[in-house]
Structure 1
Amino acid sequence: MTRPECEGSAREAYAKINLTLEITGKRTDGYHEIASVVQVIDLRDTLYFRPDDHISLSCSVPQLAWPGNLVIQAVKLLQGAVGTRRGVAISLDKGIPVAAGLGGGSSDAAVTLEAVNEMWGLGLGRESLCGMAARLGSDVPFFVGGGRTAVLAGRGEKVTYLPSPPRSWVVLVRPPIQIANKTREMYARVSPSQFTAGDYTRTMAEAIEKGDRVALELCYNVFDDIGFSSLGKLADYRDRFLTAGAAQVHLAGSGPALFSLVQDRSEAEDICRRLRKQNVEVYVAETV
């Protein structure tokens, strides 16, 4: 996909992985309370913005260019907040796998809020943008303001930023598994017996605050056991990942993407090469 043939601005929207993801309870509004440490990685989408009379979106993945895309919804929220009918033409070049648990749609929405706020000269501060972001989705507030590492609480909208840990290499596998209403379905499969008290998240956050490199053995995801036991071939892809050299494998968010952390780029590329020989969709990234 090419940049629009007019003046405009380009913004990058980064993916994330959940180093920890715990469910600590269920709320009366139907949402779950979570505790999570999230980390941005350098796998990214690129968005191009230019002023226009109407709102439009084109995308390198054509099926994403529809009115329900969070990018379009973000622009409409801004329109409503300030009472304007100004428009913007947006082109989205996808580099983050779609519906994989990597936060691509949420990151795109956050970047759109920031870019259009600036383009239209609205002057809305981070607090206002985060309020809009929370209306778009639980992951969106984290991405507002360019934070790299954070603890998430509530349904994900309560963000406490952490110092970024020393950089690590990440290998990602995107299994060809499609789940309708994925996030809702995965949360629906969690039983109260799988709720935890947030200890995994506190331990990870404390290690990061001390300046430690992220230790794979501290990673935790409540959806690991659920996904590996109930999502068809997901366990098979985990086993392939382990056989290719990964020490541990976890779901990214609610999946189905899988990730492992490794010591250096050479090790990451070795694992990647072994998996590509099996025609597995695999990516190498670095924490940011």
Structure 2
Amino acid sequence: MKLMEKAPAKINLALDVLFKRPDGYHEVEMIMTTVDLADRIELKEIREDNIKIISHNRFVPDDSRNLAYQAAALLKERYGVRKGVSITIEKNIPVAAGLAGGSSDAAAALRGLNRLWRLGLSLDELAEIGAEIGSDVSFCVYGGTAIARGRGEKIVHLPPPPKCWVVLAKPTLGVSTADIYKRLKLEGIDRPNVKKMVEAIYENDLSKVCSNLGNVLEHVTLPLYPEVANIKEQMKTFGADAVLMSGSGPTVFGLVEHDSRMQRVYNGLRGFCDQVYAVRLLGDSNHLD
């Protein structure tokens, strides 16, 4: 038996870091939403009682470092599953990009294995398990649009944001999320207004969404990586309605309302950045099917 799961990328419309917790993690408040750029996960039963990861992307680990592998291992151990599985990851989301590709793969593996192994777990239960794997996995189990608090595992669902184009551009560099958080100084920095972003989403007001984009991690990543700051400036110059870095970077996204302007932004960025995508905001968990 085999089945497929979709693993969409996410962007952060707002990302605030409130304080460092006693457990070493940072307390966050962020608004995440899914976009129409997705990995495809194929799950297939195998005779051997082990976990096999298959990917043709050399940056995707095929062992216990892989978050989808960790998801399968956790379910096997917790529910006494004595079956093997082959997990094939068709990678479309750039790796180490601030788009939660690995977390989304893990979430897709959780959803798919729940069906494959007939575990009968709810999405809430899967999201709780996902929190043990990584901070973004809980959100990715649900997809859609949500406020994430705590380490990212406390999820409050929101309606989808206003429809628009999203142009994504990733420079050819990797950014360590742990390193960015380690360097973050929380005093005297501009913070996004998460409450106003929630209002903008409920009002379905794209201009209000655009004017309330914000990400405190830009204060660290942009000075460290001038290429990221440059992409931001270029995207604004080419005419994006609003521009922000996603997660800890290095991917930058621009929200664009009109098709013609999207094409201009996309074409302009293709001139000096290899990984550029023009996709739609999904923002609705129904698009996981």
Question: Do both share a fold (TM > 0.5)?
Answer: yes
Aligned to 1:254: 248
Distance verdict in 2 for CA 1:232–1:165, change over 3 Å: closer
SS of the residue aligned with 2:77?
Answer: helix
Letter paired with 1:132: I
Distance verdict in 2 for CA 1:174–1:161, change over 3 Å: same
Alignment pair present for 1:278 and 2:272: yes
Whole-angstrom CA distance in 1 between matches of 2:215 and 2:67: 25
Whole-angstrom CA distance in 2 between matches of 1:166 and 1:226: 29
1:123 to 120, 123, 142: 120
Q: Deviations over 1:149-208 (max 9, x none)?
A: 0001111000000011221110111011223xx111111111130567x76111101221
SS of the residue aligned with 1:144?
Answer: helix
Aligned to 1:88: 85
SS of the residue aligned with 2:247?
Answer: coil
* Contiguous gaps of at least 5 residues in structure 1: 1-6
Asked whether the equivalents of residues 168 and 286 of structure 1 are also in contact (C-alpha less than 8 Å), the reply is yes
Letter paired with 1:191: K
Aligned to 1:212: 205
Whole-angstrom CA distance in 2 between matches of 1:265 and 1:118: 39
Aligned to 1:14: 8
What TM-score, normalized by structure 1, do the two folds share? 0.91
Q: Within 5 Å, give how 1:31-46 maps onto structure 2.
A: 31-46=25-40
Distance verdict in 2 for CA 1:208–1:247, change over 3 Å: closer
SS of the residue aligned with 1:79?
Answer: helix
Letter paired with 1:97: P
Letter paired with 2:130: A
Asked whether the equivalents of residues 19 and 39 of structure 1 are also in contact (C-alpha less than 8 Å), the reply is yes
SS of the residue aligned with 1:192?
Answer: coil
Aligned to 1:186: 180
* Contiguous gaps of at least 5 residues in structure 2: 283-289
Whole-angstrom CA distance in 1 between matches of 2:194 and 2:71: 30
Whole-angstrom CA distance in 1 between matches of 2:77 and 2:141: 19
2:195 to 202, 206, 229: 202
Structure 1 residue runs of 4+, over 4 Å off? none
SS of the residue aligned with 2:132?
Answer: helix
Whole-angstrom CA distance in 1 between matches of 2:201 and 2:246: 19
Aligned to 2:286: none
Identity %, equivalent residues = 37
Whole-angstrom CA distance in 1 between matches of 2:151 and 2:232: 28
1:156 to 149, 152, 157: 152
Whole-angstrom CA distance in 2 between matches of 1:50 and 1:287: 30
Whole-angstrom CA distance in 2 between matches of 1:55 and 1:62: 18
What TM-score, normalized by structure 2, do the two folds share? 0.91
> Which 10-residue stretch deviates more, 114-123 or 60-69?
60-69
CA RMSD in angstroms, aligned pairs only: 1.7
Distance verdict in 2 for CA 1:195–1:159, change over 3 Å: farther
